[in-house]
Amino acid sequence: MSQLSTLKPHSIHIAIMALGGQGGGVLVDWIVRLAEHAGWTAQATSVAGVAQRTGATIYYIELVEPTPGQAPVLALMAVPGDVDVLIAAELMEAGRAVERGLVTPGRTTVIASSHRVFAIQEKMVSGNGIADSAQVLDIVRREARHLVMADMQALAAGQGSVISASLFGALAGSGALPFALAEFEAVVERSGVGVKPSLAALRAGAAVARSAAPPDPPADPMHTAPRPLPATAASAQLQPLLERIRAAFPRPAWDWLGEGLARVVDYQDAAYGGEYLDHVARLLAADPDADAADGQVAIEAARWVAVAMSYDDVIRVADLKTRAERSARLRREVAAGADDVVGSEEYFHPRMEEVMGLLPRRLADWLDGSPRLRDWLASRLSRGRRIRTHTLRGHLQLHLVAGLRRWRRSSRRHAEELGHLQAWLAEVQQVLPHDRALALELLRCRRLVKGYSDTHARGSSRFDRLLRAARELRGRADAGPALGALREAALRDAEGQALSQRLQTLGLAP
């Protein structure tokens, strides 16, 4: 046997980690066609990920240079330590690839998008469960032989295309494959679908890959700065409220007050915006240091009073689901064309408590006094419903519920939320003149209350527990930091074990 025949043919092993809807299969097909058109042998396999963003589909491609007269034996799955190119369509999936051993120092070129699609494990945490993107980036940078990273999602969207095209271009620009950019472009042209925007995204991705600039650290989505307070309001009705912010509140809080005002006005109306500013003003009137340079009390009040006043209810959910901008966003996410019909099916399962909350308070109280009638209604109302909002009937159903907003203030739910809000702010007002740190932590505790149904009930229960703890902590030198630690413990797990342990450590009643 000649020495030439015993040489192992050159092969390239590529692993791709992509979420549903990101075009991972299209990217795989493009790479396979690219190689086969050049005479290479190509094989692609995949292991499907779990739905609801608990994991990505892992595609594996093995490319072998031309071997005339020979049929290479190819693997079916990526093997740790044997991957030449790792493509991740989302930042955390690049981190998962490192954890799986698919990124080998000195060997693996990593091409990844820096944008985030949050996993279920991140969303289900009561507080900030979002993984540290900067830390993941550092790990990937350390482990990869060569790293190409940018917001490939935004890059593709800017060209009217999808992320698979910009990732394909980044692969071309990385030099990890022995094919020219023109060959990559020819694959897209031969596909005959969305050619022009796909080529634009491909070239943009290639340009990023060829750039020597290091990837930017991902922004922390939990720490976004407020928009500057506008010079003029969107309507003459809102202009006096804008002027009131400038005239009556500390300068450092203006932008936060502007955001809060926009939130509550969008939630209800301009009069509700005036009530919002009234609540914040009454609170600041109890602050002996209201003119402090940092304006911290005003900032925290602006944030959390707005959150408390824009509580989630069935009316709000129906309103958001019937907005034109939501329909436009859904069409963008699925890359729908102007002539494409896009439908959506919404699942609702309101508890009887949500239904009762919509009723006027007196009527709801009367129903509570009639258990048999209440149970009869519950058997007919408390069941899951699937509503197709793209149909006239489905849209009108939700539009009718959203229209109840004008009567929201007379509902039982609003009376309950208003009472809760007033009790909370009264606690802050009592504490503020004596312990500023504790008052600030009391304001931040509102972060615990979110969502609706069972989620809202759990959060409210923990919030009320922290209010009781704050009363027990009054007079202690460490009252503020102690309450802050309790808040973080309450946000840490859904079962409440961390909060119970922290209460015990501080010597407070469970």
DSSP string for 243-301? HHHHHHS-GGGHHHHHHHHHHHHHHS-HHHHHHHHHHHHHHHHT-TTTT-TT-HHHHHH
End-to-end CA gap in the chain = 81
Mean pLDDT for 478-486 is 92
Q: How far apart are CA 182 and CA 148, in angstroms?
A: 20
- Sign of the C-alpha dihedral computed for residues 282, 225, 250 and 439 taken in this order: positive
∠ at Cα 44 (40, 49), nearest 5°? 160
Count of positions (residues) in the chain: 510
What residues contact 96, with CB distance under 8 A and at least 6 apart?
Answer: 17, 55, 56, 88
Residue 125 confidence (pLDDT)? 62
Residue 77 confidence (pLDDT)? 87
More confident residue, 345 or 413: 413
What residues contact 190, with CB distance under 8 A and at least 6 apart?
Answer: 33
Going along the chain from its start, the domains and CATH numbers come out as 10-210 (3.40.920.10), 239-255+267-294+421-505 (no CATH), 314-413 (no CATH)
pLDDT digits (tens, 9 = 90+) for 374-426: 888 877 777 777 888 888 888 888 889 899 999 999 999 999 999 999 999 99
Q: How far apart are CA 471 and CA 25, in angstroms?
A: 58
| Collapsed DSSP state (helix, strand, coil) of residue 60 | strand
Tell the burial category of 51 from Cβ atoms under 10 Å away from its Cβ (0-12, 13-18, 19+). Answer: exposed
Q: How far apart are CA 137 and CA 91, in angstroms?
A: 8
Residue 222 confidence (pLDDT)? 61
pLDDT at 86 over 80: yes
Which backbone phi and psi does 63 adopt, to 5 degrees? -115, 135
Mean pLDDT for 14-30 is 86
| Collapsed DSSP state (helix, strand, coil) of residue 111 | strand
Q: Cβ(202)–Cβ(173) under 8 Å?
A: no
DSSP 300-356: HHHHHHHHHHT---HHHHHHHHT-HHHHHHHHHHTT--TT-----EEEE---HHHHH
Residue 5 confidence (pLDDT)? 47
Helix (H) / strand (E) containing 148:
strand 146-150
Residue 424 confidence (pLDDT)? 95
What's the whole-model pTM score? 0.74
Q: Cβ(473)–Cβ(482) under 8 Å?
A: yes
Confidence of residue 20 (pLDDT cuts 50, 70, 90): confident
The 10 Å Cβ neighbour count of residue 407 is 13
Average pLDDT, the chain: 86
The DSSP bridge pattern shows strands 57-64 and 146-150 to be unpaired
pLDDT digits (tens, 9 = 90+) for 155-181: 998 898 889 999 999 999 999 999 999
| Collapsed DSSP state (helix, strand, coil) of residue 164 | helix
∠ at Cα 292 (288, 296), nearest 5°? 100
Helix (H) / strand (E) containing 15:
strand 11-18
For 217, 343, 377, 400, the CA distances from 392, given in Å and listed in that order, are: 45, 12, 26, 12
Beta-bridge partner residues of 346: 387
